Structures are given as structure tokens and as C-alpha cells.
Amino acid sequence: MQEAKANPIIIIAICAALSGLLFGYDAGIISGALLFINKTFIISDTEQGWLVAMVPLGALLSAILSGKISDLFGRKKTLLLTAIFFIAGSIICGTATNINTLVAGRLLLGIAIGIGSSISPVYTSELANEKQRGWLVNLFVVFVQIGVFLSFAVAYLFSYSGNWRAMIALGVVPAIILFFGVFLLPESPRWLLVKNKIAEAKHILANLYGEAHAKQCMLEIQALIKETNISFRQLFDQPRYLKVIFIGVAVSFFTQTVGINAFNYYAPTIFQQTGFASPSIATFCTMFMGLTLVISTISSLFFIDKIGRKKPLMIGTTGILLVLLVITLSFALITNQQLLGWIFLISAISFMVLHGISIGPACFLIPAEVFPLRVRGLGMGLSVACNWGANVIVAALIPTLIVNFGIAFIFGSFFVTTIVAWLVFYFYIPETKGTTLEQIERNVLANFPAVDLGKHIPITIMNKPILIEE
């Protein structure tokens, strides 16, 4: 493959990843906005929790349906639907005159996030080749973290005026850019081949990778399509598919339950319970955390296709265990509030570094790789729905748990969950570096153990090996 042919796919991946930026911005902006929403509307701790949880709840509901929608109507049209919901949700939230309207707007934003987080990684993975797929799909995660950082920065800038409406409404700008950008994107060639739109798929692949590569790639995909016709029910009926579901669900679930959104949603609130008392200082510290997460996630782009997915996952999870232990013991034993604030800040920054190089990239990349083509949208939707289901629980319960049990209890619970996550990652998550989506699917069909699904095996058509030119 010639280097010049790589440029279009990079531009396409960046455009698709804009949904990730909106994901991060709209999920993260509530942490700073909450400090001032409470002054506009009088709400209880439970109502505050559900105001935060409306985004993951909307994402949970839409993720369940988005896979079916994208498998029926295509990845491109589904991305367009994402942009529309982002625009509507941002406008409604920014103009809300009561708490119910604000909750409704947050729910729409959640629906947009659920669709985008299900479809964008799948779309990019189906357009990229195996040598670039890791970092190109991971652009979505990078943009998520950039969005989170921007939300923290915007919250800090508006913390002096307390204008929470402007904080939320600014999300409409990248949403409009995504809306018009989608019209310039091609459809997924793999989805087109499933729908028997051969000429269109060949044209897109040829433009991206050249005629020779496109022809051989199409032979491989078409042969696999003829061999497999999997229904959603079969995913649950056959053990070989249950393994894939377990991988997708496990990675998605543990991304949330190691505690990332305790930092993203409630860091300013936790800081204010320590020695960092003012809203401006609390939001500034949270903004710095967001910047750390952005930098660490960007750094993963440079090694994810070289050293793989699993090794950083294991190293990062081990480090997260240590950080959670430090936070738990600190809040349980230390009474000096200023010291406690500094320990939490340093621990939070360390957590962001570790999460950005490990679980963050794995969350969307691994599920987008392991599901069979015919149900990739459905499978990814199921995984993302599990992600957001865990997110809803975390977001909704944390305010109440802080009041009733304390911060040490919360992070101690995350510590226990992360031990389970480490064991699951070690024994079940495959290394998919450098393996084509079709090779992974053949391993699924051959009923390989879960941890071996990324292994290279000969791929043949009519008993002849396929050799795809570089």
C-alpha cells in the first residue's frame, strides 16, 4: 500500500471522531455546570445524581438500538442521526428555564452519545487496514478526552460568571461541524458488501488503498460473507459467539467501574470536600486532570499498533489498582484537609495517565474488532449499552454514596472491581494487533479460545491462500 493512499482514511477517521469530541464535552461539562445549576434550580442530591445520569441513561437506551439501525441503514446515515441529536440537545439545555427541560435536553445528548460511541469506532475499523486500525479507531477515544478537557476548560472560564447555560450550549458548534462533515464521508465498504453493493464498495476501497489491494480485500470479505449469516439470536445460542460477547461486554463494563467517571463527573465536588474550597480552584484542578488524560491518550496512538492492545491494558490496570488503594486509604485515615486535597490531585492525575494508555483505548477498539461482520453493529451496540449501563449506576449513585458512606467507601469499591477487571483482562482478552477483521472472524468461527482470537491463521478461498499486497 502506498503511503499517499493513507491520507484519505486519516481525514475520514478524524471527521468520524468528532462524535467522540461531543461525547466527551457533553459528558464532562456537567461537572463544572453543576456548581452553578444548583444556584439556579433548587435540587436534591438524588435529583443532582439523575441530572448527571441522564446522559449515560440516554446513551444506554440508544446504544441498544443503534447497532440494529446501523446494520440496516448504514454507518454514514447513523452518524448523521448522531449529529442531529447533538444539535437538538445542546440547544434545549442552553435555553432550559426549568429542571425538567434541562433533564430532557441532557437525555437527548445522551441518545446522541450512545449512537456515536457505538457507530464511530465500528465505522473507522471497517475502513482502516490492520496496520493502521488501532490508532485510527483510537482517534475516537482521543477526541473523547479532548472533549472532556475542553469541557473542563470552558467550565473554568465561565466559573467566574457562573454562566452554565453558555457552558452547555457551546457544544452545538462541533455538532454542526459533524453534521456537514458526514455528507463528505464514504459509506463503510464492508457494510456495502453485506448489502451486495459491490461496485460502490470496490470504488471506495480502490480510492483508499489502490485497485490491487481493493480487489483482493473484496475477495476475502465476500468469501467470509458467504460462509456466515449470523442472526442476533445466534450470538447468544452458540458458545463461540458468547465468548465474543463476553469480551466486548467485559471491556466496556470495566472501563466504567474502575472509577473514571467519578473523576470526570464529580472531581470538583470531591475537591471542595478537601482543601480546595473555591469553585474556580476545583474546576481548574479538574481541567488539569482532563489535559493529562488527553496527553496520555494521544501518546497511545504511537504504540497501540506496535506493542499492541493487551500489554498496555495490563500495565495500566495494575497502576490503577495502586492509585485507587492510595485514594481509599487517604480518605479513610488522613484528617488534614489540605494534605488530602493534594493527595487526591496527584492520585487523580496518575489515574488519568494510566487510564489514557490502557483501558480508555481498549474500551472501543477491542469490541469494534472482535464481532463478526454481519452483526458488528449489533455487537458493538450491546457492548456500548453495557458501558453506559454501568455509567448510569456510577453517575446516579455517587452523590448519595458520598453523603451516606464517604469517599473512601466509593474508591474502595472501585479497587475491588479493578482486581476482577485485571483477572478478566489477563485470562480472556486477546491481542488483536496486526490481525485483519476477517482473520479475527475466522478465529471466532473456528471456536478459538477467547484469549487466542487475535492469532494469525491462513485465510483461503477455494483452498488457495490469499496474499494481500502491502
Q: Are 13 and 136 in contact (CB under 8 A)?
A: yes
Is 364 part of any domain?
yes
Q: Which residue has the cell 488527553?
A: 294
User: Phi, psi at residue 125, to the nearest 5°?
Assistant: -65, -30
Exposure string for 182-205, b = 16+ CB within 10 A, e = fewer: beebbbbbbbbbbeebeeebbebb
Domain count, the chain: 1
Structural domain of residue 86, as residue ranges?
3-465
Amino acid at 325: L
Can you give the pLDDT at residue 175?
Answer: 92
User: Phi, psi at residue 245, to the nearest 5°?
Assistant: -60, -45
Is 161 part of any domain?
yes
Q: Are 370 and 244 in contact (CB under 8 A)?
A: yes
The whole-angstrom separation of Cα 32 and Cα 53 is 15
Please report, for the domain that includes residue 162, its CATH number.
Answer: 1.20.1250.20
Q: Are 151 and 24 in contact (CB under 8 A)?
A: yes
Can you give the pLDDT at residue 97?
Answer: 84
The whole-angstrom separation of Cα 347 and Cα 331 is 12
Region for residue 447 given its phi and psi (left: phi exceeds 0; alpha: psi -120 to 50; beta: otherwise): left
Is 245 part of any domain?
yes
Secondary structure, 3-state, 23-67: HHHHHHHHHHHHHHHHHHCCCCHHHHHHHHHHHHHHHHHHHHHHH
Can you give the pLDDT at residue 468?
Answer: 38
Q: Are 141 and 363 in contact (CB under 8 A)?
A: yes
Can you give the pLDDT at residue 230?
Answer: 59
The model's pTM: 0.77
Can you give the pLDDT at residue 7?
Answer: 63
Can you give the pLDDT at residue 241?
Answer: 77
Q: Which residue has the cell 484537609?
A: 337
Which run of H or of E encompasses 265? helix 260-272
CB atoms within 10 A of CB 61: 18
pLDDT by residue, tens only, the chain of 470 residues = 334 344 688 888 899 889 999 988 887 788 778 778 877 887 777 777 777 778 878 888 888 888 778 888 888 999 999 999 999 999 998 888 888 888 889 999 999 998 988 889 889 988 887 788 888 888 998 898 888 888 878 888 887 888 888 888 898 999 999 999 999 899 988 888 888 888 888 888 888 888 877 787 787 777 666 655 555 566 666 777 788 888 988 998 998 889 887 887 777 777 777 766 566 777 777 778 878 888 998 888 888 888 888 999 999 999 999 999 999 999 888 888 888 888 888 999 999 999 989 988 888 888 888 888 777 777 888 888 888 788 778 777 887 888 888 888 999 999 999 999 999 999 999 888 888 887 888 888 777 887 888 777 655 544 444 443 33
Can you give the pLDDT at residue 461?
Answer: 43
Is 470 part of any domain?
no
